[in-house]
Amino acid sequence: MRRNARLIFNSCLRVGFFFLFFGGGPSKEPGLCGGGCLPHTPQRGLRLRENHWSQAARARYGHAATEAVTLGAARRCGSGALRPHGGAVPAPFPRRPRAAMADGPAPKRRREEEEAAAEAAPGGSPFPLGSVRLRRLLRDSAREKAAFVHGQVSGPAGEETDAVLILEKTPFREEEIEELLRRHGKLELQTRNDIYSTYRLRPPPELSEIKATVVYPATEKHLQKYLRQEVHLVRETWEDYRNITLPFIQSQSFSIQWVYNILEKKAEADRIIHENPDPCNGFVLVPDFKWNQNQLEDLYLIALIHRRDVKSLRDLTAEHLPLLRNVLQEGKEAIAKRFGVPGSQLRIYLHYQPSYYHLHVHFTALGYDAPGSSAERAHLLEDVIDNLLLDAEYYQKRALTFALRADEPLLKKFREAGRV
Ligand code: M7G
């Protein structure tokens, strides 16, 4: 079964480079979530639709979206809700000049506008890989065989735009190994000792694929996310969440336009593995950006819920149990059907803190040590369900631990409050 799945798999996509840029402003028709829920796009967002081509409008829409999520969180998802959808026209690809890193941090407001505009960057144009100028290596990992690079691309007027490139050696595929051994270039002996020897082997180009993930234009926050830094553990009580974390994420979090693009089928529509269209208890399951779908060893999918009023684990109550059960059950079934991987070989979890505050669930191969699957970040979905069965407000009561990078502004907030 697994072998068959693998064979089907290998005839699938073999793309080494991901260059996806997303577009779209506010939905033409704001989705509704149940009788009592607020529209996803509040009045402010609707007004901005009129000139959503402008960068400022997109930046402001970013705030409007945050506001909608926050307000919506207080309401309940009822029956007979409308399905969220929208049809905004994609905006042109922005050529947005950015200050060089050496210029120091931009003022908060400008930075927020830049971030919202960058996250809403629409699709279509190919990424000019050949003209990327290397600024610095943000991080590399010998174990993951990956490099996180800060690059810059010059625009026509000489302005520099930041990009993050994540370059990863793709895992070996069993059926290519023989070919690799047969068709290698020169084999250079490095060391020999008794029955042990090491060689430098140069594979032919077709067998030396590198997966490249591009974030372009990248914001200061993206650069920080991939920069190697010390990390510190924070233990967040519910009061800390309310007084420190929530106000912070409302003002600072990454734009989730890419999530809305998937939910509204403006991006990655052809990659959807499964959808339950129910606006309250439904979700979309897609391959995660981290997975190139060439092999099952590093299988990685994410389930994005349709409703837009649940930011993270902290918002979950017993009300969300039907939704969570759907994600668990249908996600497992869909993965077993499509990829032949049984539920018993999947790690299914939520991140806390996530990078993107729209509830999503990670599905990874159990044998794959995925980034973010450590004890201080991953919460198994089945445990989350059990906890909510024990206590409907479990996640509004207990303290949660997570790690923050040394220069993350949230860590500074916890320090200022004397909580670290
Ligand atoms: P997270 O827990 O919010 O943060 O997970 P993390 O990125 O620090 O893990 C978000 C997940 O969404 C990650 O696994 C990302 O790889 C994935 N992801 C991010 N983006 C921008 C995209 C995207 O545009 N498409 C898809 N399919 N996955 C994405």
Encode pLDDT of 340-351 as tens digits: 999 999 999 999
Whether ligand 1 lies within 6 angstroms of the CB of 290 is answered as yes
- When pLDDT is averaged across residues 31-40 and rounded to a whole number, the result is 37
- Lowest mean pLDDT segment, chosen from 99-113, 175-189, 374-388: 99-113
Q: Which residues are catalytic?
A: 360
Whether ligand 1 lies within 6 angstroms of the CB of 288 is answered as yes
| pLDDT for position 184 | 76
Q: Is the model more confident about 50 or about 369?
A: 369
pLDDT above 50: residue 67:
no
> Ligand 1 centroid to 349 CA: how many Å?
13
Q: How confident is the model at residue 78 (pLDDT cuts 50, 70, 90)?
A: low
Tens-place pLDDT, residues 362-391: 999 999 999 999 999 999 999 999 999 999
- When pLDDT is averaged across residues 208-216 and rounded to a whole number, the result is 92
Whether ligand 1 lies within 6 angstroms of the CB of 19 is answered as no
> Ligand 1 centroid to 175 CA: how many Å?
29
- What does the radius of gyration of the chain's CA atoms come to, in whole angstroms? 22
CA-nearest residue, atom 20 of ligand 1: 289
| pLDDT for position 247 | 95
Atom of ligand 1 nearest to the CA of 261: 24
- When pLDDT is averaged across residues 128-147 and rounded to a whole number, the result is 91
Atom of ligand 1 nearest to the CA of 290: 16
> Ligand 1 centroid to 289 CA: how many Å?
6
| pLDDT for position 12 | 41
Q: Tell me what the pLDDT averaged over the chain comes to.
A: 77
pLDDT above 50: residue 68:
no
Nearest to 38 by CA among 78, 90, 87, 89: 78
Q: Is the model more confident about 42 or about 268?
A: 268
Q: pTM of the full predicted structure?
A: 0.71
Q: How confident is the model at residue 125 (pLDDT cuts 50, 70, 90)?
A: low
Q: How confident is the model at residue 171 (pLDDT cuts 50, 70, 90)?
A: confident
- When pLDDT is averaged across residues 95-122 and rounded to a whole number, the result is 39
pLDDT above 90: residue 305:
yes
Distance CA 41, CA 51 (A): 15
| pLDDT for position 27 | 34
Distance CA 96, CA 13 (A): 32
Q: How confident is the model at residue 127 (pLDDT cuts 50, 70, 90)?
A: confident
Whether ligand 1 lies within 6 angstroms of the CB of 286 is answered as yes
- When pLDDT is averaged across residues 12-24 and rounded to a whole number, the result is 37
Whether ligand 1 lies within 6 angstroms of the CB of 289 is answered as yes
Counting residues of the chain whose pLDDT is more than 70, the rounded percentage is 70
Q: Is the model more confident about 409 or about 62?
A: 409
Two tokens, residue 368 = 């794959």
Partners of 279 in the β-ladder: none
Q: Is the model more confident about 384 or about 3?
A: 384
> Ligand 1 centroid to 333 CA: how many Å?
22
> Ligand 1 centroid to 218 CA: how many Å?
15
Two tokens, residue 272 = 């959807």
Atom of ligand 1 nearest to the CA of 300: 14
| pLDDT for position 124 | 58
- When pLDDT is averaged across residues 184-205 and rounded to a whole number, the result is 88
Distance CA 339, CA 232 (A): 37
Two tokens, residue 52 = 């959503």
Q: Is the model more confident about 264 or about 87?
A: 264
User: Which residue among 268, 355, 364 is best mutated to probe the pocket of ligand 1, counting the most ligand atoms within 8 A of its Cβ?
Assistant: 355
Q: How far is CA 333 from CA 12, 328, 330, 338, 343, in A?
A: 20, 9, 5, 9, 8
Please calculate the CA angle 137-255-77 and round it to the nearest 5 degrees: 140
| pLDDT for position 76 | 53
Question: Among all chains, which residue has been given the structure tokens 């005839």?
Answer: 11
- When pLDDT is averaged across residues 154-164 and rounded to a whole number, the result is 91
| pLDDT for position 86 | 31
Atom of ligand 1 nearest to the CA of 377: 2
